[in-house]
Amino acid sequence: MLIGKKDRLSKTYSAWFGKAVVLLIRVRRYHIPMPCRIMGESSADVHIRIQPGWDLDVKKELILAVEEFAVFSAVQVN
């Protein structure tokens, strides 16, 4: 590592920060959809919020896909 050189982090997920998304996570042989909000990113992890007070870091290598999470209201306006 060169001294004085800034660590350049990949900001692949920055467009999704704060938005409601569904991450498709690989856990062993299974693909699990996880509704959440992406709160931050490091070089190896994505920091997500499942619900208020419940945050966790997910390894980027386990994330298969990200999609916007559209929440539909049970009451529709005509």
Coil vs helix vs strand at 16: helix
Is 32 contained in some domain?
Answer: yes
Residue 28: pLDDT over 70:
yes
- Provide the percentage of residues in the chain whose pLDDT is more than 90: 56
Is 27 contained in some domain?
Answer: yes
7: confidence class by pLDDT, cuts 50, 70, 90: very low
- Average of per-residue pLDDT values in the chain: 82
Q: Which residues pair with 67 in a beta bridge?
A: 22
Is 74 contained in some domain?
Answer: no
In Å, how far are 18, 32, 33, 69 from 72, measured between CA atoms? Answer: 18, 21, 17, 10
Mean pLDDT over 44-53 rounds to 93
d(CA 25, CA 59): 9
Q: Domain containing 28 — which CATH number?
A: 2.30.30.100
Quote the pLDDT of residue 11: 73
Is 29 contained in some domain?
Answer: yes
Number of separate domains in the chain: 1
Q: Give the range of the structural domain holding residue 47, as residue numbers without chain letter.
A: 14-68
